[in-house]
Structure 1
Amino acid sequence: MSAGQRVLVVIPTYDEVENLEPILDRLHAAVPDAHALVVDDGSPDGTGELAEKIAAQDPRVHVLRRTEKSGLGPAYVAGFRWGRAHGYDVLVEMDADGSHHPEQLPLLLAGLEDADLVLGSRWVPGGRVEDWPRRRLLLSRLGNRYTRWALRLPLADATGGFRAVRGELVDRLPFDEVASQGYCFQVDWAWRAVRAGARVAEVPITFSEREFGRSKMTASIVEEALVRVTWWGLQDRLADRLPGRVPRAVPGRVRDGGRSSEVR
């Protein structure tokens, strides 16, 4: 990432009043010049009010309050639009619950030196997960393997939500067409980025289970991801069978921990 570029960390929240202030403190200790946008979906626990109180005291913190809980995807899209409208060059996705370590954000930002999108990956060498039950570990690993196969997407962790992106790539991608609401949103737009020929890199991160509050993962979110990924994969393969259609070979390169591989 070039010196002088403005960084905005978009942090969606819903009932994260216990986690918000500590994560903002850690973010600014790790990257003092970064700004944060808290996108609150009408949290009944006072998260939005706390965010506005912090923002009144710290010019690096901004708040976008929405009236109802409409899902992770729409919250990030709203945050991206706000960030680009306010002149930020780099946008970062980060959870509010402490599962993403702000101390590792400099690794993602450094990866933008020669990439358009950098994914924090749990499943590349050096990445790891702390305090997850075996069932959830298995679900994440199998989900990512299925996604990689179904979409022919050469990413180890397409579902991860700690990532940094150049604003120019955000402007190029059709976020108005992204309908996914849960973590499938992460797969959706990573796939679009690869298909658009973007330079995508993965860097290892440590993912930790939240200490406070309740996980937003539900069976309906998992079901949405399975249905959408399957449908996208079928459409993609059927399109390759159309008369005169050359089987897809996505342009660009994906880097995994500093190694490069052709995208197919």
Structure 2
Amino acid sequence: MTRVTSIVLIPSYNTGPILYQSVAAARAQWPEVWVVVDGSTDGTAEGLRQLAENDAGLRLMVLPTNSGKGAAVLYGLSAAAAEGVSHVLTMDADGQHPAELIPAFMQAAAEHPDCMILGRPVFDASAPLLRVRGRRVSNWWANLETLWMGIGDSLFGFRVYPVAPLLDIMRRQRWMRRFDFDPEAVVRLAWRGVRPINLDAPVRYLSKDEGGSSHFDYWRDNVLLTWMHTRLVLGFVARLPWLLRMRMARP
């Protein structure tokens, strides 16, 4: 059994003041919260630096230029692995993810250390209909690419990863550095035999008046996802005999 040592990892790029609320909410639920500021120009790095000076449980890492969510997570994973951390819960900085569920997700990871604990989003009326319906396409492809091994949602970034296999996957190839990180991570981990466990998690889309922000670009990011799934389908075909054996071996 893997000895579970876990941190919360929050990548952030120009999220604005809502980042402070997200960090405070995470710190209220977990003793170790690390934030990777991915080349932000909104002043939040300076604000977090002041907070970290008075909070031993908050660690700040600042990247000089914006490199993408996956690159920020990779930076945090590398630092975590160097300190013997076994599991990382990733959480978005924009206030959408339910910090109050951090203990439950960490407990699931402790009980199933060789699995990935995936948030399955429960949307309310604040969710843009286009985003809710559009993610079904990516979810269908991710399940095909893994022979329906049980990925509840491929895009929702509130999840617990085992550090060692994800870090090895990311270091072996140059993708998964931007918006494609979340779906490609779960597919490639499933290919490695890391079983998904899905837990429901409410999602809240904040309005601009509430401090909400989004860097999602419909055309750019959907092109990125299309290219990602093209690559993954090719990898799926190459792995199909092994995936069939693994799938048939599971109850």
| TM-score range normalised by the length of the shorter chain | 0.7 to 0.9
**Partner of residue 203, structure 2:** 207
Q: Post-superposition shift, 1:249?
A: 2.1
Q: Post-superposition shift, 1:5?
A: 4.6
Q: Structure 1 or 2: larger helix share?
A: 2
- Is the 2:27–2:33 contact (alpha carbons within 8 Å) kept by the matching residues of 1? no
**Partner of residue 258, structure 1:** none
Q: Post-superposition shift, 1:149?
A: 2.5
Q: Post-superposition shift, 1:235?
A: 4.0
- Is the 1:23–1:97 contact (alpha carbons within 8 Å) kept by the matching residues of 2? yes
Q: From the superposition, tell whether residues 151 and 220 of structure 1 become closer, same or farther in structure 2 (CA, over 3 Å).
A: farther
Deviations 1:20-72 (A, max 9, x none): 221122112223x2x11111122111011111111111011111111111111
Instruction: Report SS of the residue matched to 1:249.
Output: helix
Instruction: Report SS of the residue matched to 1:251.
Output: helix
Is 1:105 the counterpart of 2:105? The answer is no
**Partner of residue 114, structure 1:** 112
Letter in 1 for 2:201: I
Letter in 2 for 1:121: R
Structural mapping, 1:84-233, within 5 Å: 84-112=81-109, 113-115=111-113, 116-122=115-121, 127-154=122-149, 155-170=151-166, 172-210=168-206, 211-218=210-217, 219-233=219-233
Instruction: Report SS of the residue matched to 2:41.
Output: coil
- Is the 2:39–2:67 contact (alpha carbons within 8 Å) kept by the matching residues of 1? no
Q: Post-superposition shift, 1:166?
A: 2.8
Letter in 1 for 2:78: R
Instruction: Report SS of the residue matched to 1:173.
Output: helix
Letter in 1 for 2:126: D
Deviations 1:102-129 (A, max 9, x none): 101122112111242101112xxxx334
- Is the 1:19–1:96 contact (alpha carbons within 8 Å) kept by the matching residues of 2? yes
- Is the 2:116–2:197 contact (alpha carbons within 8 Å) kept by the matching residues of 1? yes
Letter in 2 for 1:215: S
CA distance in 1, matches of 2:5, 2:191: 27
Q: Post-superposition shift, 1:180?
A: 2.4
Which runs of 5 or more residues in structure 2 are unaligned? none
**Partner of residue 26, structure 1:** 25
Q: From the superposition, tell whether residues 161 and 175 of structure 1 become closer, same or farther in structure 2 (CA, over 3 Å).
A: farther
CA distance in 1, matches of 2:141, 2:164: 30
CA RMSD of aligned residues (A): 2.6
Deviations 1:52-96 (A, max 9, x none): 111111011111111111111111011100111123232111001
Instruction: Report SS of the residue matched to 2:246.
Output: coil
Q: Post-superposition shift, 1:100?
A: 0.6
153-162 vs 55-64, which deviates more? 153-162
CA distance in 2, matches of 1:63, 1:190: 26
Which runs of 5 or more residues in structure 1 are unaligned? 241-245, 254-260
Between the two proteins, the alignment pairs up a number of residues equal to 244
- Is the 1:131–1:209 contact (alpha carbons within 8 Å) kept by the matching residues of 2? yes
User: TM-score under structure 2 normalisation?
Assistant: 0.86
- Is the 1:178–1:188 contact (alpha carbons within 8 Å) kept by the matching residues of 2? no
- Is the 1:197–1:252 contact (alpha carbons within 8 Å) kept by the matching residues of 2? no
- Is the 1:18–1:213 contact (alpha carbons within 8 Å) kept by the matching residues of 2? no
Q: From the superposition, tell whether residues 239 and 30 of structure 1 become closer, same or farther in structure 2 (CA, over 3 Å).
A: closer
Instruction: Report SS of the residue matched to 1:181.
Output: coil
Deviations 1:158-210 (A, max 9, x none): 11111112334345534341512333211212112111112321111111113
